[in-house]
C-alpha cells in the first residue's frame, strides 16, 4: 500500500516527486502530501483526495527546493482527511515522516509521548514516529533514526527529513518494500520502480531492516547491526513506456490485451533451442522432486485463485498430495511441514505481507520454497529457494489480469517440467501438452475482439443489478471465483461464486426473477451435470450467460447467451475462460462510471497484514 517518493539532487523536487507519485497512485489514493526544504525551511502540504488535489494546490502556490519527499496514501489508521494525510511532522514542523505499513505498538508509544507533553493532530500510527524522532534528535538525524527504529514494532517503510539536516534523506525498510534509485548528482527513494524510471534505471533493492542515508553525492546503507554494507546496483531492462497506457483508455484494458504477448513471453523464456522446457533459477533436480511428499500452494486473492488451478495441476502431474491455502490463514495454522514439503508461493508484487509471513513460517519448518512472482529482486524472490518469474511486465491496474494468466502459465510449465522430471508424466503426454501450451497465446488473441463486443453489451444489462452469481464445477469453479472477484472489486456489485453442485444445498434461495448468473461450463467430464445446474437456476428466473467450448452448441438451448471459447485440453480451459469475465468486469465498471484502474478501498500491493 501507499506510494513513497523521495528526492535529493539539483532538480525541482516538487515536480520530480509529483511525477513519481503519479506512477504510484495504484498503491493508494485516499490522500497525498509533500515536504520540501525551501530556503532552509521545511514546507509541508497535504490534502485528502486524489493526487490531483495536491497537484492543483502546488500549481497555484508552488514549493521550491531540491530535496523533498511525497506520499500517496491508502488509509489504515484514521479516515482519509487532511490531518491524517502524510507527511506527518513534529510540533515545530521541522521533522517530517512518510510511512507505508503499520506500527503495531504505536499506542503505548503515543501514551508515553503524551505524558511528555507532545500534542497530536491525527489519528494515525505514523505521527508517533515524528514526535519520537523529535524526542531523540540531538543534532544527528541518523542517530535519532537508529534510536527511533529500535522502538518500533510492525511492518513499515519510512522516509525521514529534518530541517536542520537539509542535505540528507533517511529511509528504513522493515518488511515493507522500498528501492533506491541511483543517479548522477541526485538520488531517489521510492516504493516501486515506475516512480523513478524516468530519471534513472539504476536501482538498489533495499533489504529488510536496512537503513539508507541519501545525499546529492551518494548514499550509505546500514545493515541490521548498523554497520555500513554494500548492496548490488541493478539495471532495469524495461522502460517507462511499458508502464504507460499506450493509447488504451485504462491500464486494465491495456493489460487484458497484453495477455497474448506476456503469456507467450512466459512460455518462450523457458524453451531451449529444441523447444523443450528448461527452468533457470530453479535447482530442483530428479532426486529432490522424488523426495517431495506434500505440496502447499499459498497466495492471496487472485494469486490464490491461480494457486487453486496450480494445486490441481501439481497433484495431477506429480501424483503427490497438494493443497491450496489462503496466505493469511496458512501462516496462523499448524501444518505438518518438513524438509520433504514443497511450498509454492504466489504473489504478483513479491511484497504481499500475508504471503511473506506464510513463506517465513513454512521456511522455519524446513520446507523448500518455490516462488512465482513478477518482480525481480522482490522480498519473496529473495527469500525463496527457487524462483519462477512470470515476465508479465508492469501491472498498474489494481484489478489483476495479466498477472493471473501468467501465473496460470507458470503452473502449467512447472507441472509439466516436474512431471517429466519425476517420471509421472509420460513423454508422449508431455509432448502433446507442451505443444498445446504453445498455442494458447494465439487462442487468447483470437478471442479478444468478439469477447470485448459481447462484454460491452452485457455490461449495459447487468450494471444496475443488486447481485450477480458465477457458477462452475471442478476447474471451472476456480474461474468462477476469479470472475466474481474481478466484477465485485471494480463494479462494486455484490458478486459471488458457487460450486454449481452446491446450489441445491442452500444457495439457490438467492436466485430470483432476473438474477444474472454466469455459468462456466468447459470441463467435458462434468458438462452434462453443469447443464442440469443451469436448468435449476433458469427454473427460478435467472438470466444465464454460459461460457463453454465451441463444441457445446447445445448450451444455447439452455442459456440466454453463450460465450464460445477456442478448443483446448481441459486443463487449459481456466486460462481461456477467464478472459471474458475480465472484460465483463472492465466494461461493467466503465458503464457505472467507476474509476476502473483505482477502485475504492483497494491498493495494488498489499504490504500490511
Is 3.40.50.10490 the CATH classification of the domain at 448-591? yes
Amino acid 609: pLDDT: 46
| Beta-carbon contacts of residue 318 (< 8 Å; ≥ 6 apart) | 289, 292, 295, 415, 418, 419, 422, 424
Residues 6+ apart with CB under 8 A from 486: 399, 401, 581, 582, 584, 585
CATH of domain 245-438: 3.40.50.10490
Q: How far apart are the first and last CA of the chain?
A: 11
User: What is 3-240's CATH superfamily?
Assistant: Aminohydrolase, N-terminal nucleophile (Ntn) domain (3.60.20.10)
Whether residue 595 is preceded by a cis peptide bond, meaning omega within 30 degrees of 0, is: no
Convert the pLDDT of each residue in 132-152 to its tens digit. Answer: 999 999 999 999 999 999 999
pLDDT of 76 > 70? The answer is no
Q: Take residue 174 and report the three cell numbers written for it.
A: 522493515
Beta partners for residue 34, in sequence order: 45, 70
- Report how far residue 511's alpha carbon sits from residue 547's, in angstroms, rounded to the nearest whole number: 19
Spatial contact of 84 and 75, defined as CB atoms under 8 Å apart: yes
Query: Which range among 210-224, 384-398, 475-489 shows the weakest confidence by mean pLDDT?
Result: 384-398
pLDDT tens digits, 106-123: 999 999 999 999 999 998
Residue 77 pLDDT: 64
Q: At what angle do helices 301-318 and 475-491 cross, to 10 degrees?
A: 170
For residue 467, what pLDDT band results from cuts at 50, 70 and 90? very high
Environment class of 553 (CB within 10 Å of its CB; exposed 0-12, middle 13-18, buried 19+): exposed
Number of Cβ within 10 Å of residue 329's Cβ equals 13
In the chain, the percentage of residues whose pLDDT exceeds 90 is 73
Q: Bridge partners of 234?
A: 203
What mean pLDDT is predicted for residues 49-76? Answer: 90
Segments of the chain assigned to CATH 3.60.20.10: 3-240
Which one of the listed residues 2, 23, 486, 598 is annotated catalytic?
Answer: 2
pLDDT at 47: 93
Hey, which residues does 156 pair with through a beta bridge? 101, 175
pLDDT interval class at 503 (50, 70, 90): confident
Quote the CA–CA distance of 434 and 431 in Å, as a whole number: 5
pTM of the predicted model over 0.85: no
pLDDT of 55 above 50: yes
Give the range among 314-328, 375-389, 557-571 with minimum mean pLDDT.
375-389
Longest CA–CA span in the chain (Å) reads 79
pLDDT surpasses 70 at 28 = no
Grade residue 351 by pLDDT with cuts at 50, 70 and 90: confident
- Tell me which of 101 and 429 has the higher pLDDT: 429
pLDDT at 242 over 80: no
604 is an active site residue: yes
Write the DSSP assignment of 115-164 as a string of letters.
Answer: HTT-----S-STHHHHHHHHHH-SS-HHHHHHHHHHH--EEEEEEEEETT
Q: What's phi and psi for 514, nearest 5 deg?
A: 90, 0
Residue 104: the pLDDT is 83
Give the per-residue pLDDT at 545: 97
Q: How many residues does the chain have?
A: 609
Choosing from 43, 46, 402, 604, which is the catalytic residue?
604
Give the residue range(s) of CATH 3.40.50.10490 domains in the chain. 245-438, 448-591
Q: Is the pLDDT of residue 240 over 90?
A: no
Closest alpha carbon to 518 in 584, 576, 594: 584
Strands (E), 376-474: 386-389, 467-472
Higher pLDDT: 596 or 501? It is 596
pLDDT exceeds 80 at position 239: no
Does position 483 have pLDDT exceeding 70, yes or no? yes
Give the mean pLDDT of the chain. 91
203 beta partners: 181, 234
Amino acid at each position: 500500500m501507499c506510494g513513497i517518493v523521495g528526492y535529493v539532487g539539483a532538480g525541482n523536487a516538487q515536480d520530480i516527486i509529483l511525477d513519481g507519485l503519479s506512477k504510484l497512485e495504484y498503491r493508494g489514493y485516499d490522500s497525498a502530501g509533500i515536504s520540501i526544504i525551501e530556503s532552509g525551511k521545511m514546507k509541508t502540504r497535504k490534502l485528502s483526495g486524489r493526487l490531483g488535489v495536491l497537484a492543483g494546490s502546488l500549481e497555484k502556490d508552488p514549493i521550491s527546493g531540491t530535496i523533498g519527499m511525497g506520499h500517496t496514501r491508502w488509509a489504515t489508521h484514521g479516515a482519509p482527511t487532511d490531518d491524517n494525510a502524510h507527511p506527518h511532522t513534529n510540533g515545530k514542523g521541522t521533522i517530517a515522516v512518510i510511512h507505508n505499513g503499520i506500527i503495531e505498538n504505536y499506542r503505548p508509544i503515543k501514551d508515553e509521548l503524551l505524558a511528555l507533553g507532545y500534542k497530536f493532530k491525527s489519528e494515525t500510527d505514523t505521527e508517533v514516529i515524528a514526535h519520537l524522532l523529535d524526542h531523540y534528535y540531538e543534532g544527528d538525524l541518523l542517530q535519532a533514526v537508529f534510536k527511533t527504529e529500535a522502538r518500533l514494532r510492525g511492518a513499515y517503510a519510512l522516509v525521514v527529513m529534518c530541517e536542520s539536516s537539509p542535505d540528507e534523506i533517511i529511509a528504513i525498510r522493515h518488511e515493507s518494500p522500498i528501492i533506491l534509485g541511483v543517479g548522477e548528482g541526485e538520488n531517489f527513494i521510492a516504493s516501486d520502480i515506475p516512480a523513478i524510471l524516468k530519471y534513472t534505471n539504476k536501482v538498489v533493492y533495499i533489504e529488510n531492516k536496512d537503513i539508507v542515508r541519501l545525499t546529492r553525492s551518494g548514499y550509505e546503507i546500514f545493515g541490521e547491526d548498523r554497520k555500513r554494507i554494500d548492496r548490488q546496483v541493478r539495471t532495469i531492462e524495461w522502460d517507462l513506456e511499458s508502464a504507460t497506457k499506450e493509447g488504451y483508455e485504462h491500464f486494465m484494458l491495456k493489460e487484458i490485451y497484453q495477455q497474448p504477448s506476456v503469456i507467450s513471453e512466459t512460455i518462450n523464456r523457458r524453451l531451449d533451442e529444441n523447444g523443450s522446457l528448461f527452468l533457470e533459477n530453479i535447482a530442483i533436480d530428479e532426486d529432490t522432486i522424488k523426495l517431495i511428499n506434500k505440496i502447499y500452494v499459498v497466495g492471496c486473492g487472485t494469486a490464490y485463485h491461480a494457486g487453486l488451478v496450480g494445486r490441481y495441476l501439481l497433484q495431477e502431474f506429480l501424483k503427490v498430495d497438494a493443497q491450496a491455502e489462503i496466505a493469511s490463514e496458512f501462516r496462523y495454522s499448524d501444518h505438518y511441514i518438513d524438509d520433504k514439503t514443497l511450498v509454492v508461493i504466489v504473489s504478483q508484487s513479491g511484497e504481499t505481507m500475508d504471503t511473506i509471513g506464510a513463506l517465513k513460517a513454512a521456511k522455519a519448518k524446513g520446507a523448500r520454497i518455490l516462488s512465482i512472482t513478477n518482480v525481480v529482486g522482490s522480498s519473496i524472490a529473495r527469500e525463496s529457494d527457487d524462483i519462477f518469474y512470470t515476465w508479465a511486465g508492469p501491472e498498474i491496474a489494481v484489478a489483476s489480469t495479466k498477472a493471473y494468466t501468467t501465473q496460470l502459465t507458470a503452473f502449467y510449465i512447472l507441472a509439466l517440467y516436474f512431471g517429466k522430471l519425476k517420471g509421472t508424466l509420460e513423454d508422449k503426454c508431455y509432448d502433446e501438452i507442451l505443444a498445446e501450451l504453445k498455442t494458447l497465446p494465439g487462442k487468447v488473441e483470437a478471442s479478444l475482439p468478439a469477447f470485448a463486443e459481447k462484454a460491452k453489451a452485457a455490461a449495459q444489462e447487468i450494471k444496475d443489478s443488486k447481485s450477480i452469481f458465477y457458477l462452475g464445477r471442478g476447474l471451472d469453479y476456480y474461474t468462477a471465483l476469479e470472475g466474481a472477484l474481478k466484477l465485485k472489486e471494480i463494479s462494486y456489485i455484490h458478486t459471488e461464486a458457487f460450486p454449481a453442485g452446491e446450489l441445491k444445498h442452500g444457495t439457490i434461495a438467492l436466485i430470483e426473477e432476473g438474477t444474472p448468473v454466469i455459468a462456466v461450463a468447459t470441463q467435458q467430464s462434468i458438462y452434462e451435470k453443469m447443464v442440469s445446474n443451469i436448468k435449476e437456476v433458469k427454473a427460478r428466473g435467472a438470466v444465464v450467460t454460459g461460457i463453454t467450448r465451441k463444441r457445446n452448441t447445445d448450451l444455447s438451448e439452455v442459456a440466454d447467451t453463450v460465450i464460445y471459447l477456442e478448443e483446448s485440453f481441459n486443463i487449459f480451459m481456466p486460462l481461456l475462460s477467464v478472459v471474458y469475465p475480465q472484460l465483463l468486469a472492465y466494461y461493467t465498471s466503465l458503464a457505472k462510471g467507476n474509476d476502473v484502474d483505482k477502485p475504492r478501498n483497494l491498493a495494488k500491493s498489499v504490504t500490511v497484514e
